[in-house]
Structure 1
């Protein structure tokens, strides 16, 4: 009878078709019912009454907000915010007081209702403050933090309070406390709340071993990932030279994506502290970490990429220049990812990571070198790119060299047990450096002579002859010296290969286009380089004999 009477009381406003504008009377009526339910559940536990008060209070408030937004009626938002806070303060003890009074443990459903209550209160309050005064959102976030800390303080003074509720309130307080700064300075997004909640659910599940919370956390990870990708797509679609100027890296879109990726990384860290094999059967923790890691890194990459692209599109006119700047970011990100591969012990991870980074280097030579050449030609043609913007590509070249070196270190450890392949791990690194130096020689030669209205093809034809040969020979001499100093047999081998190719090029391709004077200069130069290499080898042999 009690349940039927309370149900009838909560459904009465639907039957009389209450006036939307007279919300104060409706809220007072609902408040009286909630206080009555609180009095009942204080003496006798009744889950059904808890649900009735929670569902109908939230339902009436959401319906009122929906109608107010639909008809643009914002006149009662101040009153609504006051009653919203009162409802929150009443509903919390309704859902907890019976278990606390009888010192009983909370079931996962009851703990989940506390999370839902905080989420609904914060979401509805933020919607109201969007109209009342958005500047108070940070203060409102602090209010929610204080209320949770207040409940926590009371419960800490009650003997035999369920630890699950204590940990949950600690987590909620930490969540809203961490939200104050981003909300105060850059606004609020639901994605930030969800990101913190997925971490909170996992943390609480570890403290009180609730399987349902682990499931909720995993579901929340998928929700956060999907919602963040959707938000990033919306931001990406707004990129244009006429886009609204905003603070770089200090705006709601970027902070939202950053919080998502940080939350995912924290989840990975939390499960790494466990001694379990399975996150939830049949999902192993290693698989969970791999999947969440892919989500986190993907969101982090896209978030920074879109933020950079958004801002440089506004300020930089040349599309080629923008691609060069984005290339600096792309390869910097990949290089940072390559560093952990050097120290990890997982062979599959080292192999897969090494292959992906190697493909990135190949992509540079087949794609970005064309962009760099086009930007050079655009500068010579008097296009929108400046000389400084063209030379930005040197950062990419330097990063590619660093990536090649990290790949060498990775493969050097990976192939330690292979006698044949381990002899050639350094070769790709040296060849990549020489290729980049050759490309840069092209750019330098063309820019130094392009102002004389000489065709680029004619300049390249000349630089690809003797200048290339001298460069390769000089580079071979340099790495011969380095190989001798560091006692690297591979360096000396690859230097001999390069000098051999340079000599073949000289006698087969170059010499037929030279006059007597150039031939004499070339032979003298090559002879000097070969003499230097021979001297270094002789010095090395003498040192070995002396040591013996």
Structure 2
């Protein structure tokens, strides 16, 4: 019953398709007749004009090479062709075809499964049906090839996919074939599809063939690893693809082959590291270097895909080979980046000999220098992945700078976050490693490689911004922040690790001091680093914040540690080192910037000054008079009650004086607010905590300070009034004389 329904449904669909096709042809004929009547002159000219035909219509992929190859740009803002456009156009025009053939294959699969569930057909019959269906689809694609080239390629690819799945199921599920027989059949299908792709001149079909060829080992795998046989097969397949690429300009197959081959190689190396894999890595390097250099050897040009291939081939090969050497404890592992650098140096010398300093020269120079830099880094036992990715990211940015193709900048922005992630993994070794030497340890040397590449990146971006405004300022600014952050954390972790056996107060003090000096150095080097005003203002606020934290946290911890005899009194001098950048920034840098354009800046600055002076006098008083922690408690209370109001009153007077002299109203407000705090503190709390002698001394001193300040302000106000009056008189005299 079910078979009858399926047959009837199939006949109905076939009849409907035939009717629809007949109507479409009739409509085409009517349109042609209408065009002849409306535009007879066009018809006549088209009949006289010779018709140009092409024996093999081009698919959207076949012009990738010509669109991607480039010459050195004559102008900086050269319009660049989107290398993804052919792929997107292909998907727009053929997405329904791709979905259709995929749906058809699934439909056939579900129908066969349904027939199996109903026990209509046996295992051998199922395989035969699958093979016949695949062959039937391929034959259909063949007959459609003349008028519908791309459509027929997708149809043929679907038929080949059906053949692959049929043989795989016959081997894995039904055990009709042995492993060797199934593998031979799959290889024959791959060979057949490659030959058909070449003679059909279809890049779409070769992509189907390539996927089938690389997935064939997985289709017939039984779980037993025979990597030598697997890599030998892949090598033969890659050589065949290399021959085709030299005959046809099909760049996509080299990318697909590269990805699959490296996945297999990496998996082999991680699962079973042995010396044999080195030979296959070297062979793979040679094959894919030939892939990347085909246009260079023919036309002395390098396309975008060629440059990406050169970068990836060099660095993936270095990762794999150095990993094998490190795993097997062979030396020296740097032989591979040195040899690869030599290969690129030969090509660089060739370009230099021709006096050709275009894009190939820059690419070969960048790769050579990057590999030599990487060799030096690996010699010091730095982390392999972190070093490779950091150098590779800088190389991509350099190539973008020299070629102007934004794809390399995009790759840089994709790779740089990965560099940060692996660098964080590298930092985690500080928590597990013991007794690492100062500076010359693998963790910090890896960080040093990252720091050097970051400075190079900042320089390249700075040179770009000198000529053009950045296209994506958000990413540029984010990159700058992350770069300065990585440098900071790299050095900070090394410092904290090396002093980790010291008391907590020393560790915190050292970390805060380094943070203050790091921001201070960035502010000093703002011009060479081309730090913008926005970043400079942000760094100034961060500097003030760190100073406040240092004063409020480190000073108390250091003082208590000295009184507990954990550290000597001389260490307090180390704590006071923050005063050097603090005085310079407050005296020289802040007045020359836009920091004081906002009124809140005056309050922040005054708070910082007040806190610094009060804190240093407070802790200096404690250290000068106390011998242990018990003696410090009454001294702290005595200073807060007696001396602190006096210090604040003096500072308030200074703020008001500066505000009047320089005509800065905010300083006047700050001074009066501080005086108010002193008075409230004195009458609300201090006076009730003092003894009679201290109370008398406090009131007398504060009274004298306030009277002297008032007298000074009145005198200054009179001087200012006299100057204004004198200026007005001179103006009146000049008017009368005129």
| Both structures adopt the same fold (TM-score exceeding 0.5) | yes
Task: Give the counterpart of 2:342 among 116, 136, 146.
Answer: 146
Matches of 1:50 and 1:158, distance apart in 2:
29
Task: Give the counterpart of 2:476 among 253, 278, 289.
Answer: 289
Matches of 1:118 and 1:191, distance apart in 2:
16
For residue 171 of structure 1, report the CA deviation from its aligned partner: 1.8
Q: Does 1:204 align with 2:204?
A: no
User: Which moved further from structure 2: 287-296 or 37-46?
Assistant: 37-46
For residue 260 of structure 1, report the CA deviation from its aligned partner: 5.8
Contact kept, 8 Å, 2:610 with 2:651, in 1: the verdict is yes
> Structure 1, residues 389-410: CA drift from partner, whole Å, max 9, x if none?
4554323466556565655654
Show the counterpart of 1:173: 368
Show the counterpart of 1:127: 323
Secondary structure of 1:308's match? helix
Matches of 1:413 and 1:340, distance apart in 2:
21
Matches of 1:539 and 1:230, distance apart in 2:
63
Q: Does 1:369 align with 2:552?
A: yes
Contact kept, 8 Å, 2:659 with 2:668, in 1: the verdict is no
Secondary structure of 1:187's match? coil
For residue 339 of structure 1, report the CA deviation from its aligned partner: 6.0
Show the counterpart of 1:282: none
Structure 1: unaligned runs, 5 residues or longer: 279-284, 416-420
Go from structure 1 to structure 2 and tell me whether the alpha carbon gap of 1:498 and 1:205 turns closer, same or farther (over 3 Å shift).
closer
Go from structure 1 to structure 2 and tell me whether the alpha carbon gap of 1:276 and 1:403 turns closer, same or farther (over 3 Å shift).
closer
For residue 385 of structure 1, report the CA deviation from its aligned partner: 3.9
Matches of 1:387 and 1:190, distance apart in 2:
46
User: Which moved further from structure 2: 100-109 or 10-19?
Assistant: 10-19
For residue 130 of structure 1, report the CA deviation from its aligned partner: 0.9
Matches of 1:341 and 1:216, distance apart in 2:
28
Show the counterpart of 1:84: 281
Show the counterpart of 2:333: 137
Show the counterpart of 2:619: 443
Task: Give the counterpart of 1:298 among 485, 493, 515.
Answer: 485
Task: Give the counterpart of 2:577 among 391, 395, 407.
Answer: 395
> Structure 1, residues 260-286: CA drift from partner, whole Å, max 9, x if none?
6435534532542452552xxxxxx22
Secondary structure of 2:468's match? coil
> Structure 1, residues 210-231: CA drift from partner, whole Å, max 9, x if none?
3332322221123223333343
Matches of 1:65 and 1:56, distance apart in 2:
14
Contact kept, 8 Å, 1:106 with 1:162, in 2: the verdict is no
Secondary structure of 1:456's match? helix
Paired residues, what number?
Answer: 513
Contact kept, 8 Å, 2:451 with 2:487, in 1: the verdict is yes
> Structure 1, residues 203-251: CA drift from partner, whole Å, max 9, x if none?
323433333323222211232233333433x235438xxx332323753
For residue 295 of structure 1, report the CA deviation from its aligned partner: 1.8
Matches of 2:301 and 2:597, distance apart in 1:
52
Go from structure 1 to structure 2 and tell me whether the alpha carbon gap of 1:295 and 1:516 turns closer, same or farther (over 3 Å shift).
closer
Show the counterpart of 2:290: 93
Task: Give the counterpart of 2:562 among 379, 393, 397.
Answer: 379
For residue 253 of structure 1, report the CA deviation from its aligned partner: 4.2
How is 1:452-531 mapped onto 2 (pairs within 5 angstroms)?
455-468=631-644, 471-472=647-648, 488-490=662-664, 497=672, 504=679, 508=683, 509=686, 513=690, 519=696, 523=700
Matches of 2:678 and 2:397, distance apart in 1:
65
Matches of 2:677 and 2:251, distance apart in 1:
86
Show the counterpart of 2:378: 183
Show the counterpart of 1:281: none
User: Which moved further from structure 2: 399-408 or 502-511?
Assistant: 502-511
Contact kept, 8 Å, 2:292 with 2:306, in 1: the verdict is yes
For residue 148 of structure 1, report the CA deviation from its aligned partner: 0.9
Go from structure 1 to structure 2 and tell me whether the alpha carbon gap of 1:376 and 1:56 turns closer, same or farther (over 3 Å shift).
closer
Higher relative contact order (CA 8 A, sep 6+): 1
Go from structure 1 to structure 2 and tell me whether the alpha carbon gap of 1:537 and 1:126 turns closer, same or farther (over 3 Å shift).
farther
> Structure 1, residues 275-313: CA drift from partner, whole Å, max 9, x if none?
2552xxxxxx22121121222122222222222222211
Matches of 1:452 and 1:220, distance apart in 2:
55
Show the counterpart of 2:269: 65
Matches of 2:580 and 2:389, distance apart in 1:
40
Go from structure 1 to structure 2 and tell me whether the alpha carbon gap of 1:93 and 1:543 turns closer, same or farther (over 3 Å shift).
same
Task: Give the counterpart of 1:327 among 491, 507, 512.
Answer: 512
User: Which moved further from structure 2: 530-539 or 105-114?
Assistant: 530-539
Secondary structure of 2:299's match? coil
> Structure 1, residues 165-184: CA drift from partner, whole Å, max 9, x if none?
44322221121122233222
Matches of 1:452 and 1:48, distance apart in 2:
77
For residue 126 of structure 1, report the CA deviation from its aligned partner: 0.7
Matches of 1:413 and 1:165, distance apart in 2:
51
User: Which moved further from structure 2: 351-360 or 125-134?
Assistant: 351-360
Go from structure 1 to structure 2 and tell me whether the alpha carbon gap of 1:46 and 1:339 turns closer, same or farther (over 3 Å shift).
closer
User: Which moved further from structure 2: 369-378 or 470-479?
Assistant: 470-479
User: Which moved further from structure 2: 168-177 or 39-48?
Assistant: 39-48
Matches of 2:494 and 2:621, distance apart in 1:
36
Matches of 2:639 and 2:590, distance apart in 1:
31
Matches of 2:354 and 2:693, distance apart in 1:
101
Go from structure 1 to structure 2 and tell me whether the alpha carbon gap of 1:210 and 1:500 turns closer, same or farther (over 3 Å shift).
closer
For residue 542 of structure 1, report the CA deviation from its aligned partner: 7.4
Go from structure 1 to structure 2 and tell me whether the alpha carbon gap of 1:67 and 1:226 turns closer, same or farther (over 3 Å shift).
closer
Task: Give the counterpart of 1:115 among 311, 317, 331.
Answer: 311
Contact kept, 8 Å, 2:458 with 2:480, in 1: the verdict is yes
Secondary structure of 2:395's match? helix
Contact kept, 8 Å, 1:198 with 1:220, in 2: the verdict is yes
Go from structure 1 to structure 2 and tell me whether the alpha carbon gap of 1:501 and 1:167 turns closer, same or farther (over 3 Å shift).
same
How is 1:330-349 mapped onto 2 (pairs within 5 angstroms)?
330-336=515-521
Q: Structure 2 length normalisation: TM-score?
A: 0.56
For residue 118 of structure 1, report the CA deviation from its aligned partner: 0.8
Show the counterpart of 2:429: 235
Show the counterpart of 1:311: 498
CA RMSD, 1 decimal: 5.1
Show the counterpart of 1:418: none
Contact kept, 8 Å, 2:278 with 2:324, in 1: the verdict is yes
Secondary structure of 1:464's match? helix
Structure 2: unaligned runs, 5 residues or longer: 1-190, 196-208, 728-738
Go from structure 1 to structure 2 and tell me whether the alpha carbon gap of 1:494 and 1:162 turns closer, same or farther (over 3 Å shift).
closer
Contact kept, 8 Å, 1:103 with 1:162, in 2: the verdict is no
